[in-house]
Amino acid sequence: MRRTIAALAAVTLLGLAGCATDEPAAGPSGSASAAGSGTGEQSKFFVQADYDAELALLDATATGPADRPWEQVLNPKMVETAKFKKAGPHKLCFSNAALNNPWRQVGFKTMQAEVEAQGSRIKEFVHVDAEGKDQKQIADINDLLGKGCDALIVSPNTTATLTPAVTAACKAGLPVIVFDRGVDTPCPVTFINPIGGYGFGHVGAEFVSQRMKPGGKLLALRILPGVDVLETRWSAAKVAFDKAGVDVVGVEFTDGDPAKTKKIVNDYIQRHGTIDGVWMDAGAVAVAAVEAFQDAGKPVPPINGEDQLDFLKLWKDKGLTAIAPTYPTYQWRTPIIAALRILDGQPVSNPWKLPQPTVTQENLDSYLDLDMPPLHYAMCGCTDLPGYPQRWK
């Protein structure tokens, strides 16, 4: 009897162990020795033309008010929207992929504040959170079509799976606005997003590879594989590292988790003695990576983060050699502005490419607001909105 119980217990434990620790296969690090500088094969998501276009946009001048980057457009291509003209006030509906990370939390608060700021023109704002599930979002969009929305804003959870749902929404005749992640159909009136992943990845990788000592060891930290906006960041970084001849000793997935990140960085410090540069595809765990060096008593090498305030503060306090490319949260304001312009029948740009500023040593002080919480994003463009700063705290 005892034996049966113990054996049963062991089997159950093993089953649980299997599903609880779903660590992604460390493919890139496994194949590291094969490729020249350790960056492995290029990502399937890499498209040379898009890469070239995004890098060109980094130097482009935006049109629109300079102090309101969420209204600016890079290389505008205006489309007519007269057929959507409608008398207000309007009912705006928003199908949101998820609220499951601080970036989306800050973004959504910014969007709510923008709705409040435009209160006289919006009679109702309906928000449905798909909680990161494709199936729920497909159902959400379908439900919203029956709710008499004047315009539909979609932030898709995944590109391919949500495309049919967005196509169906376009066919229903109301203006559809897509932002953040894209869909594989030209049917939305406009697709709003910043320059994009290639630009983000390139800026960080170029900085780190230029500042680290020649031939030094670089550790690349990625959140997870297979998401287009993150794959493009890595693929642009890979191009930069291959060009600079950097020795990429590891490409690891962190799941965006600080505990795991700190462990990984610590493992690499122990294994290699020193790490001379750290590149990451998203800044959420940059602080954990820096702490790993501090706790190991090692100098923090050149590193890139993002515009999250905890990282900016650490950067300033410890005098890091750092850079922070951004994926600005102010883009959450733009869909509301776009929706109202479309319902006015005014032309809007499609695609609506927003500028993507970079936090550097020179402008760090202007973005560092110590009164805001550590997980807030500096690039929220929200200081002029109702409820600032309390709403974001």
Partner 1 sequence: MQTVQRPPLPLRLLRVRPGGLVPIIALLAVLLILVAVRQPDFFAPPSLMSFLGRSAPIILLAAGQYFVIVSGEFDLSVGALVTAQVVVAARLIDSEPAHTWPVVLLLLGFGALVGLVNGLITTRLRVPSFITTLGMLLILLGAVYLWSDGAPKGGLSDEFRRFGRWAFEDVPVLGRVPYALIVLLAFAALAVLVARSDFGRTLIAVGDNPRTAELSGVRVWRHRTIAFVLSGVAAAVAAILIGGYSGVSFQAGAGLEFGAITAVVLGGVALGGGRGSVVGAMLGALSLELLFALMNFYGVSGALRSTVQGAIILLAVAVSAPRSSSR
Among 153, 287, 323, 339, binds partner 1 (CB under 8 A): 287
Binding-site string for partner 1 from residue 63 to residue 102, where x marks contact by CB under 8 A and - marks none: -----------------------------------xxxxx
Binders of partner 1: how many residues, by CB under 8 A?
A: 55
- Given a contact cutoff of 8 angstroms between Cβ atoms, the answer to whether 376 and 106 are in contact is yes
Q: What does each C-alpha distance from 24 to 68, 144, 375 come to in angstroms?
A: 40, 35, 26
Provide, rounded to whole angstroms, the least separation between the CB of residue 147 and partner 1: 23
Q: Quick one: 228 exposed, middle or buried, by C-beta within 10 A (0-12, 13-18, 19+)?
A: middle
Binding of partner 1 by 307 (CB under 8 A): no
Return d(Cα 305, Cα 307) in angstroms, integer. Answer: 7
* Contact with partner 1 (CB under 8 A) among 185, 266, 274, 321: 266
Interface residue with partner 1, options 50, 131, 134, 344 (CB under 8 A): 131
Largest pairwise CA distance in the chain: 78
Q: Are 244 and 209 in contact (CB under 8 A)?
A: yes
Nearer to partner 1, 63 or 294 (CB): 294
From 59-67, 153-161, 268-276, 320-328, give the range in contact with partner 1 by CB under 8 A.
268-276
Minimum CB separation from partner 1 for residue 250, in Å? 9
Candidate residues 30, 65, 173, 299; the one interacting with partner 1 per rule CB under 8 A = 30
Whether 191 and 223 have beta carbons less than 8 Å apart is answered as no
Which residue in the set 21, 61, 366, 390 belongs to the binding site for partner 1 (CB under 8 A)?
Answer: 21
Q: E strand or H helix at 357, and its extent?
A: none
Query: Considering only residues 197-256, where is the footprint of partner 1 by CB under 8 A?
Result: 252, 255
CB 218 within 8 A of CB 29: no
Nearer CB in complex with partner 1: 254/349: 254
- Stretch near partner 1 under the rule CB under 8 A, chosen from 196-204, 264-272, 317-325, 357-365: 264-272
According to the binding rule CB under 8 A, does residue 29 interact with partner 1? yes
CB of 349 to partner 1, least distance (A): 31
Q: H helices within the chain, ranges in order?
A: 2-20, 27-30, 48-58, 102-117, 134-145, 159-171, 197-211, 228-244, 258-272, 286-295, 309-318, 334-343, 364-367
- Distance of alpha carbon 333 from alpha carbon 239, whole angstroms: 33
Q: Is 147 left (phi over 0), alpha (psi -120 to 50) or beta?
A: alpha
Report if residue 10 touches partner 1, rule: CB under 8 A.
yes
By CB under 8 A, name the binding residues for partner 1.
2-3, 5-7, 9-10, 12-14, 16-18, 20-21, 23-26, 29-30, 98-102, 104-105, 131-132, 252, 255, 257-264, 266-267, 270-271, 273, 287-288, 291, 295-297, 310, 373-375
